[in-house]
Amino acid sequence: MSSGELVAMATAAGAGLAGDSGGGGGGKLVKPFTPEKAKEIIMSLQQPAVFSNMVFDWPAQHWNANYLSKLLCGKQIRFRMGMKKTDTVPQFETMCSYVDATLEEFLAWNCGQGVSIAGPFSHYDNSEFWAYADYKYLARVFEDNTEVLQNVIWSDFGFPGRNGRESSLWIGSVGANTPCHLDSYGCNLVFQVQGRKRWHLFPPEDTTFLYPTRIPYEESSVFSKVNVVNPDLKHFPQFLKAQRHVVTLYPGQVLFVPRHWWHYVESIDPITVSINSWIELEEDHQARVEEAITRMLVCALKAAEDPTNTKAWLNPTEVVGTSHEINCQYLNGAISAYLEHSKVVETLTPTELKINGEHRVEAPLKKRKLDVYTRTKEKMSPHHKLATGAEKPEEKILFGLDLIPVLPSLQNESSERGIAESDIKDIVTESGRHVGKLNCAEEQPVINKAEIPLADNIVSDSTTCPSISTDDLLDCLVNPEVIHLVAQLLLQKRTCNF
């Protein structure tokens, strides 16, 4: 029995346990966590986990593709078309083609019906291609029918008023996938509605092993150069050190993805539907400054390299803001927002500061100045808190049927494609146990100045050594750790003059 099947069994078993018999046999189902407790878990948990039995009464649980096709009444949405092939190169969005079509046409194509019925999909053989309507903001999809946005009830997870308006819709055929990436902002809640999706996740401290790149450029997305389901270990040998976590998400489950966790997601059923929402965090204020710096550097260098061709490096989701003037405004706006937020923080007592409705302790900005020269020697972690103070000790999170941890994959355990998958059989024995992560901090060798080649030597050796491209330079300049350091320096400079 696969671990995915074990997850499904755990969900079914949990649903049975959730009933309140009340002296009878068919009592009302009770959710395992109150909104307050669910939010407490989300705000403190630092590993992925699956919530079960939390959405059984959501109207959106009925949003399968057939239902949505009727709800949208022939409205066209854009699908990304990708090849069903096994390649060592990630299939980035810039490599895909796009089709505007209705859900009826998508369903006809996916079922192999006639060319005339499939419409725009008729040029794509569904045995060779997959289709993915991804990143579809529900507020835009249902702009003519906003009442249905109430069918998504994130308030059950402790976020009052949050519904479909702050959510995205994903509809795909088997094989549809997103390249491995991390999200710069927030944490992620993903509700699986129809079909199954397999998630490959990697912790933030493994970033070096994922070979991060910002080409193609998309704000808030740091992509990996590695195809994590078919890695090219000759070019990316450090990927072997990455600690993979794999889980299959079933309908009715909600996956929590902590901040800065890498993830590759693939549809493994003929049709999949899911809904997600990115939850804002305190750290996003500085993350927006870091993204603005990245945007300015990438756009400046790539636009100078080839001013007439942005399609090769700009993700299809990024359509404006590539001019230097606009990017300068974007950066200054992000810095101003950060400083304004920090001014508000300074005026609050520790118990008055609220983040997403949660009381937290945060040191004022002036006390958060860091020695940037020693900061780089610290372990870089997105969970590193600049705050100090008497924070309330965290309660131990008890995992079980209603909250299933996504554990690191065992090296000798195999599943489909030879990828190790988290074994749900270990829930009881592993429950509450802290899972250690690889420490990727390595001492860098000291370079002797006498060993640095002269410029003349560099030029003369250019015929035998690969030349450095703009992308190579950008991979260094906009590396997440480098950008984090630059943002710290820039904010210190502005703070002194604020």
Q: Which pLDDT tens digit goes with each residue over 204-239?
A: 999 999 999 999 999 999 999 999 999 999 999 999
Q: Please check the confidence at residue 93 and state whether its pLDDT lies above 50.
A: yes
pLDDT of res. 76: 97
pLDDT of res. 321: 64
In terms of residue numbers, what domain contains 477? 284-393+464-496
Could you tell me if 262 and 210 lie in one domain? yes
Reported as a pLDDT band with limits 50, 70 and 90, residue 10 is low
Residues 294/313, Cβ–Cβ less than 8 Å: no
Number of structural domains (the chain) is 2
Q: Please check the confidence at residue 440 and state whether its pLDDT lies above 70.
A: no
pLDDT of res. 373: 27
Residue 173 covered by a domain: yes
Reported as a pLDDT band with limits 50, 70 and 90, residue 395 is low
Residue 452 covered by a domain: no
Reported as a pLDDT band with limits 50, 70 and 90, residue 115 is low
Q: Which pLDDT tens digit goes with each residue over 321-358?
A: 678 999 999 999 999 999 998 887 766 655 444 444 34
pLDDT of res. 485: 95
Across 383-394, average pLDDT: 38
Reported as a pLDDT band with limits 50, 70 and 90, residue 413 is very low
Residue 14 covered by a domain: yes
pLDDT of res. 320: 64
% of the chain residues with pLDDT over 90: 63
Could you tell me if 215 and 96 lie in one domain? yes
Considering all CA atoms of the chain, what is the largest pairwise distance in Å, rounded to the nearest integer?
A: 88
Domain boundary among 279, 297, 329: 279
pLDDT of res. 289: 96
Where is pLDDT greater, at 364 or 262? 262
CATH classification at residue 114:
2.60.120.650
pLDDT of res. 118: 73
Residues 276/167, Cβ–Cβ less than 8 Å: yes
Residue 440 covered by a domain: no
Across 310-318, average pLDDT: 85
Could you tell me if 267 and 298 lie in one domain? no
Domain boundary among 243, 264, 279: 279
Could you tell me if 167 and 301 lie in one domain? no
Could you tell me if 264 and 301 lie in one domain? no
Domain boundary among 263, 279, 295: 279
Q: Which pLDDT tens digit goes with each residue over 54-65?
A: 999 999 999 999
